[in-house]
Structure 1
Amino acid sequence: MQYDRYIHYLIHKYKLYYDAEDAYQQLSIDLYLLTLKYDDTKDFDQYIKYQLNFKAIDYTRKTVKYYERHMLSDKHIEISKEDDDSLWLIDAHHLLNEYEYTWLNYALQGLSVQQMSQLMNKSESSIKGYRQNARLKLKPL
């Protein structure tokens, strides 16, 4: 319980809002495992905070890789004559550049600008720019 606030700090630092509960659970497990590995030659508090920080970074990287692998793509879209949304997404793919299309995928998944920023390793202002450009290009559709 002593490191509960520190774990929440790491979740906010690395913007793990979308998976906050999973991140909290994983970092709590990591904390327990780190206490088992601890040797008396190091300062316990400094050791735990240093190691948990890297565990949070690892979790962030795994999350990014997961979203990149499972991101919506044309091969995942089933096209039916009744489903105009599928056709619209394929048209959108041809109109948008890579970043704008990635923004669209994340927006359709309900992610915030902050979460997109973290997943795409871009600044929030860049994400907002992709959003603005994508909306302008998609307006005629």
Structure 2
Amino acid sequence: MKGDISAERAAFLMEDFERGFIEHCRLKAREASSGRFCSEVEIAPCHRQQDGFIHAGLMATMADHTAGYAGFTIVPAEFQILSIEFKINFLRPAYGDRLICRSRVLRGGRQIIIAESEVYDRAEGVERLAAKAMVTLMAVHRDNLASKR
């Protein structure tokens, strides 16, 4: 990606990341740089499914949302990012005390952006790759979205 983002833009995106549904999921932003974003979540009982594993829906949400914010790092501030498609592969059941998601833009276009997310399960201090997602994003000028609400 061209250049790095300003400290102000990184701080804004990290704060913005944690609003709405994501706040409910307890996801936290950890790092933002040009074309990259990292998030994590400390696992609580509400994040687990009936067999005690971390719910796949949490991992999918984390992969999608974090990729979206990686996309935000490469577009002008007046653009919004919308997911238009994603595919996720769950590589192993996650059961640890924390998930860490590292996302990066693979191809940044004027309107369509391709990103990938890797979701790591941390158990007993060791990270293991638990899921990998490919996410297709669309950059849309915020003025074009305002009339759609």
Q: Which has the higher helix share?
A: 1
Higher Cα Rg, which structure: 1
TM-score band, normalised by the shorter chain?
Answer: under 0.3
Q: TM-score, normalised by structure 1?
A: 0.26
The TM-score, its normalising length taken from structure 2, stands at 0.25
